[in-house]
């Protein structure tokens, strides 16, 4: 009678084996059709460099020159296809040095109008890309500054009141001081839209108002000289 007992026990051992699968946090769980999830076609953020050679050791991979396919910098000189916004697709001409910075003040100007459309998009982008350091109203009092991580972020309305738009653009392109380049996150048009809002903040306008034509109402009337060229 001992053997039937063994049989019963083995059945339960098998049950345990089945049930105990899958509590490893690094395993997503059972896949229905694994080849649908781990496809040979290239997908974003899948490490093909190593997953195609799972049985290889690191030294074997090094020897064969197998490297992970991850985010890469576009080839030098590549120009993004911009469709109708072609003027925003041109590469930035000025070099990343002090002479470029001072030249930007005179040579680089916003191609955008200070219109409702541009400034409102600028506000959205400012809240996304700038406010955590520069603060919601640009006083340099964002959360990162309040938490003591980065100190001395200048206020647009006082210290940077007279900063030229070209220099702001140059800074977004290359970074300046502790601020890094934001060229990889914002398109050229988006950068100019942010600058349109920053120009409001420089004048102390935190909630811009617009006239019947959808143009920014200035506290002091000043005609935009070359508004005909802008879009």
Q: Looking at residues 198 to 227 of the shown chain, list those that interact with another protein (rule: CB under 8 A).
A: none
Site for another protein in 100-159 (CB under 8 A): 101, 127-129, 131-133, 142-144, 146-154, 159
Residue in this structure with the two tokens 């030229």, named with its chain if needed? 164
**What's the min distance (Å) between Cβ of 68 and another protein?**
5
How buried is residue 131: exposed, middle or buried, by Cβ count under 10 Å (0-12/13-18/19+)? middle
CA 189, distance to chain mean position in Å, is 14
166 near 106, Cβ under 8 Å?
yes
Q: Convert 76-97 to b/e letters by CB count within 10 Å (16 or more is b).
A: eeeeeeeeeeeebeeebebeee
Dihedral pair phi/psi, residue 40, rounded to 5°: -70, -25
- List the beta bridge partners of residue 215: 115
- Per CB under 8 A, 95 contacts another protein: no
**What's the min distance (Å) between Cβ of 190 and another protein?**
9
**What's the min distance (Å) between Cβ of 23 and another protein?**
4
Q: Determine which residue in the list 36, 75, 76, 225 makes contact with another protein, applying CB under 8 A.
A: 36
Residue in this structure with the two tokens 């991580």, named with its chain if needed? 149
**What's the min distance (Å) between Cβ of 220 and another protein?**
23
**What's the min distance (Å) between Cβ of 75 and another protein?**
16
Site for another protein in 68-87 (CB under 8 A): 68, 70-71
Q: Determine which residue in the list 10, 15, 60, 227 makes contact with another protein, applying CB under 8 A.
A: 15
Please say which residue, 13 or 225, places its beta carbon nearer to another protein: 13
Site for another protein in 162-181 (CB under 8 A): 175-181
């Amino acid at each position: 009678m001992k053997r039937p007992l063994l049989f019963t026990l083995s059945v339960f051992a098998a049950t345990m084996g089945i049930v105990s699968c899958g509590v490893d946090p690094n395993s997503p769980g059972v896949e229905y059709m694994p080849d649908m999830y781990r496809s040979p076609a290239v997908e974003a953020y899948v490490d093909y460099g190593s997953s195609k050679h799972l049985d290889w050791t690191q030294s074997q991979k090094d020897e064969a020159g197998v490297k992970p396919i991850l985010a890469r910098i576009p080839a030098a000189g590549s120009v993004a296809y911009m469709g109708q916004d072609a003027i925003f697709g041109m590469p930035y001409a000025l070099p990343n040095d002090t002479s470029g910075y001072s030249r930007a003040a005179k040579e680089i100007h916003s191609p955008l109008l200070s219109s409702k459309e541009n400034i409102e998009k600028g506000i959205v982008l400012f809240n996304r890309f700038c406010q955590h350091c520069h603060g919601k109203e640009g006083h340099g009092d964002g959360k990162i500054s309040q938490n003591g991580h980065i100190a001395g972020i200048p206020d647009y309305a006082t210290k940077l009141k007279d900063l030229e738009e070209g220099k702001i653009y140059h800074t977004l392109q290359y970074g300046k001081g502790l601020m890094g380049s934001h060229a990889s996150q914002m398109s050229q048009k988006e950068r100019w839209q942010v600058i349109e809002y920053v120009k409001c903040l420089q004048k102390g306008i935190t909630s811009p108002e617009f006239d019947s034509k959808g143009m920014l109402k200035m506290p002091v009337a000043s005609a935009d000289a070359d508004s005909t060229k802008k879009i």
